[in-house]
Amino acid sequence: MGKLIVHNERVQDAASLIKICPFGAMDNVDGRIEINAACRLCKLCVKRGAGVFEYVEETSAAIDKTDWRGIAVYVDHVEGKIHPVTYELIGKARELAAKTDQSVYAIFIGGDIIQRADEVLHYGVDKVYVCDRSELGAFNIENYAAAFEVFINKVKPSAILVGATPVGRQLAPRVAARFRTGLTADCTVLDIRDNTDLVQIRPAFGGNIMAEILTPNHRPQMATVRYKIMDAPQRLDEPAGTIEQLEIDPAKLNSKVEVLSVTKKPKERGIENAEVLVVAGRGVKKKEDLNLIRQLADVLNGDYACTRPLVEGGWLDPKRQIGLSGRTVRPKLIITCGVSGSVQFVAGMQHSEQIFAINNDPKASIFKVANYAVVGDLYEIIPRLIDRIKQGRGIA
């Protein structure tokens, strides 16, 4: 990165210089030109500013990567009940660690959780650091970030993986800001280089490209990953690894936020838990035609979902949207009906066991990930499919 320096001693006509910027990023403050947050570093002022403006590249001090070793996973939980995304991230952490001969750590923060830490060892973690204090019983972002900071300063992990849950989405950026390091959200692919640089890949620019993001000059490297994106390892019969208590100065747990009570959200069965999903895309012409999708889902004892355009059109609730801006699913069978297969959508369902795609465009992107493809009109295929299923089950 770089920055603009204004040599105000060379300014003769501030008004004309301010007009150079097409983004309105200059202010006249008491006769001095100052650059504001609207600056896009286009450098037009440098070219036309008669020597008043100078662009200077900022260099970062090289970090000694050998001081930072290990892949860490944040243990996401609610009252000690561990979220399954944790085990998926441990599986990926083990894979990355094996490539670079590093250890796998877990950081478990909360109150009255020490007895739950043993379960994490059944998934191949080398060491679980447990910060178990009464002040951490209810999630408080300031206290949790303080405990996380103690862990990082003690262990110095090269990379940290956090689940993209409501807690993880709050905690990860706050911790990253404390260490002035990078954070890549909603990664769909993770890899690692021999020098321990974490390769973080996610859709960008509305899903039109897959961006490969690196944090080569800062540690730790941080990434969040959604549930059901990675593969969880098999649970070991016997625990492997050790548990270490993480001590923290009580003075660090002095949050100005006090949790008075916690109201639990009523449990609901979402599309994430469905074993069979039928998905409506833009190939569905009218809102009323969604009944056809529901009928197919019903005869398969499954649930129905949709793509983003149908939610934006008000046809279905956002809770039924699949994709990076919706829900991530991993059913045993998913049937897409008139779905084109954008990168954003595919990232939310590509790990389904069996993908059955119906589309009248033989060049549709969804066919690249489908196990079974039917090129044709969904209005002709779905009714015939429903009849076949009913006949097979002896349903009139």
Compute the mean pLDDT over every residue in the chain, rounded to the nearest whole number: 93
The SS3 assignment for 77 reads: strand
Q: For residue 227, what are its two tokens?
A: 């549930």
CATH of domain 2-57: 3.30.70.20
What is the average per-residue pLDDT within 318-341? 94
C-alpha radius of gyration, the chain, whole number: 26
pLDDT value at residue 98? 97
Q: The domain 65-252 is classified under which CATH number: 3.40.50.970, 3.20.20.80, 3.40.367.20, 3.40.50.620?
A: 3.40.50.620
**Average pLDDT of span 23-34:** 93
Per-residue pLDDT reduced to its tens digit, 248-260: 999 999 888 888 8
Q: How confident is the model at residue 185 (pLDDT cuts 50, 70, 90)?
A: very high
CA 38 to CA 216: how far, in whole Å? 27
Q: What's this model's pTM, rounded to 2 decimal places?
A: 0.81
Q: Convert the pLDDT of each residue in 145-158 to its tens digit.
A: 999 999 999 999 99
Pairing of strands 71-74, 53-57: unpaired
Report pLDDT digits (tens) over 200-250. Answer: 999 887 767 889 999 999 999 999 999 999 999 999 999 999 999 999 999
Cis peptide before 331 (omega within 30 of 0): no
User: Could you read off the pLDDT of 351-383 as tens digits, one per residue?
Assistant: 999 999 999 999 999 999 999 999 999 999 999
Q: Which part of the chain is CATH 3.40.50.1220? A: 271-393
Residue 66, judged by CB atoms within 10 A of its CB (0-12, 13-18, 19+), counts as exposed
- Dist CA 241 CA 180 (whole Å): 31
Q: How many Cα atoms occupy the beta-carbon half-sphere of 160 within 13 Å? A: 32
What is the residue whose two structure tokens read 């002040």? 135
Superfamily of domain 271-393: TPP-binding domain (3.40.50.1220)
Determine the average pLDDT of the residues in 109-127: 95
Q: pLDDT by residue (tens digit) across 274-328?
A: 999 999 999 999 999 999 999 999 999 999 999 999 999 999 999 999 998 899 9
pLDDT tens for each residue of 161-184 = 999 999 999 999 999 999 999 999
Of the pLDDT bands very low, low, confident and very high (cuts 50, 70, 90), residue 120 is very high
- Beta carbons within 10 angstroms of residue 276's beta carbon: 18
| pLDDT surpassing 60 at residue 396 | no
Which residue's structure tokens are 């996401």? 76
Residues of the chain with CATH 3.40.50.620: 65-252
CATH 3.30.70.20 domain range(s) in the chain: 2-57
Band (pLDDT 50/70/90 cuts) for residue 395 is low
Q: Which of 111, 262, 255 has its CA nearest to residue 174?
A: 255
